[in-house]
């Protein structure tokens, strides 16, 4: 039988560096997330972490450096960010990529809004059509019932009224009561 040990797994760490308020519940520039059991709040394991660095909250480069020194993976991300910041060509590539991401996001949001609006308009039109059809059917039913009521008042038999209106005998008897 296969036996599994935690030592067989490597730690997985995600680092999210953001320039907007990604975690509004925290005022810190660096937050760390791990999985906890929902009711008893114990740690699932120490193999998964998500680090979020909010650049908007960093008062100075020194604090980011201080945070990065506590964690080797964050330090590596910090070093890469430093290299990117110093090289004009890399910064331009980064800014172009960031602009492309924002443009994509804007296009997707625009398409989503347009799709919702079209769907809403189509739904309203279909609803109107369905409402009109239901209204017509209700009017036809009421017309048949009125004919049946008049025919009963003239003394016609329920069988003859059924042939004229298409209503079933039970409905005709209910109208007559």
Q: Can you give the pLDDT of all 177 residues of the chain as single tens digits? A: 555 565 667 878 888 888 778 888 988 878 889 988 889 988 888 888 888 888 777 766 666 677 677 777 777 777 777 766 677 777 777 778 878 888 998 999 999 999 999 999 999 999 999 999 999 999 999 999 999 899 899 998 888 989 988 999 898 888 878
The pLDDT of residue 4 is 55
Number of Cβ within a 10 Å radius of residue 32: 12
pTM of the model: 0.37
| 152 CB-contact burial (10 Å; exposed 0-12 / middle 13-18 / buried 19+) | middle
Nearest Cα residue to 55 out of 81, 91, 33: 81
Which is it for the CA torsion 150, 156, 158, 163, positive or negative? negative
Q: Do residues 33 and 53 lie in contact, with contact meaning Cβ atoms separated by under 8 Å?
A: no
27: helix, coil or strand? coil
Q: What is the C-alpha separation between 64 and 14, in angstroms, rounded?
A: 17
Q: What is the C-alpha separation between 47 and 30, in angstroms, rounded?
A: 19
Q: What is the C-alpha separation between 108 and 87, in angstroms, rounded?
A: 31
């Amino acid at each position: 039988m296969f036996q599994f040990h935690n030592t067989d797994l490597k730690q997985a760490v995600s680092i999210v560096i953001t320039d907007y308020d990604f975690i509004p519940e925290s005022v810190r520039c660096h937050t760390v997330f791990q999985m906890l059991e929902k009711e008893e709040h114990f740690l699932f394991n120490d193999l998964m972490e998500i680090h979020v660095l909010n650049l908007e909250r960093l008062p100075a480069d020194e604090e980011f450096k201080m945070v990065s020194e506590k964690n080797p993976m964050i330090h590596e991300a910090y070093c890469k960010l430093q290299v990117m910041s110093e090289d004009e060509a890399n910064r331009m590539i980064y800014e172009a990529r960031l602009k492309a991401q924002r443009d994509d996001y804007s296009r997707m949001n625009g398409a989503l809004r347009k799709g919702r609006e079209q769907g809403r308009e189509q739904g309203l039109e279909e609803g109107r059509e369905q409402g009109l059809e239901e209204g017509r059917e209700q009017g036809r039913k009421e017309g048949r019932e009125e004919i049946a009521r008049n025919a009963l008042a003239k003394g016609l038999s329920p069988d003859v009224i059924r042939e004229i209106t298409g209503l079933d005998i039970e409905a005709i008897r209910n109208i007559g009561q």
